[in-house]
Structure 1
């Protein structure tokens, strides 16, 4: 009986420790990216500083590891004036350099040693984090780079920790307004399965200014990326050329209606790429709007067996002379989709047989 009680007590203690650890967070603030800046620590709903007593290069290593920022850059640590409005939450920290988090180093406890020195640490780690979207500038799956955007390093996981708050922060950082939708199955992300996936958790963290500060670790089982459609993402189409949907008058959807785009504030190449039409060949503006022709020639076809049909058959997309069938199931292909095809081909209304 005593053994069972001891086992239950131990399990309770371990659960409390695990829960307490999950409420601690370390971030770097006011740097050029979230892996550079002065150190702030979050503990039980409060933000504060980390004292410098016993600070060594091993402490730098743990800080960079705890913030998922790689290794400390040599001779990059500096002392800056501390902010008087925040207290010292952790001090007298002694690290071996192998700890996963700063609070796992030897220390007397949170809020035990709070003596101020008037300065605090600023550190630079080897990772240079940039966030972008796989898809479009203001819509797509959230991906990250650890080398300043030269190469993609992985994606954020959308199964846990991804919500309206996180999506709004991402849209704001990309100058794309706010989050309009956070669906994660509206596109196929070809690179996602083979890439690293990072989990995030921004709950209770009010001072974060970059999603990387919410990263909690890597996921080995994540199946869906975090994705977003920001309010700054324009839904576009080219109208007026049935023989090539990549040429015509540029229109933008606004409040459920399609309106002509009369002034282009963006490189026309970007519009063509967004509509999967290649790059710009020509464009002109007049009182009626913007005429745009892209490099790809794309046509919707109906095929009856191996023969092209006018208003009946399987839906195919012909792009630059090569034709492919459109994949559709009872769940993904709807009557609304069929109506679009019939309307585009001037074939009247839909009739299912």
Structure 2
């Protein structure tokens, strides 16, 4: 998947337009950005330039695959307030000491939508949308599962488990942006659904809408123990596995926390919970342990690997769930 605007684009994020390798257009040619000094302030500028509210992660080491052609920028130093990446400090166009193995990438805050107040679980919360430079909530009038499906898919989850109202995840603040939302369930974003118009409503924050999404990650093959199993992730409409190259406890911590567990006890490889089938989605996963989801971690790019299912990664999570887990199967 590629998203492009105003001389900048994200490439290699597959079906997900809000993440990818950063490429800039200069002197009639697209080229990449080197990851020397690459950080979240730089990523914020890129994401805002592309129309997103901001960035969730700044990635290096060609996390979304190696580009080709010129490496246009190196030693990018943004303070986060610049309008475009070219307004930031850098070594000069085409001046670098990098290879395409150092290509920089970003994960942007998706499509101006977020879930707030879900506690330990990032896949649930009060729905908030970004409009006119400000975050606001959605009213629960007419709020249902079709609407929740659109929200969850927009956030990269397979779909929704529940649509909640009456400020189930706490009352928001600021504007109530949407009311009488009517989705048929197939729209790409909540703003594509019918609604009363931005900011037109007869609600209070006690009517704030929420969702519980299918997490997009699951543990399979752990037998009667739901807190362990082969790691499978949902991407491009299909479940697939994770290769055990570079797989370690920091990566397992992110998986377990994404599933709602406190953390991980062990990171396992060599198909310890049996061989999966279908695509191998992730390889060379490198998390520092603080990421919200495994997709926020560094990796080779979706579907790029040199593995077989005999190398499927698994985890054993610490038990003690803040909520019942329904994303594990035997």
TM-score range, shorter chain: 0.3 to 0.5
Structure (1/2) with the larger strand percentage:
1
Compute the TM-score of the two structures, normalised by the length of structure 1. Answer: 0.36
- Which structure has the higher relative contact order (CA within 8 Å, separation 6+)? 2
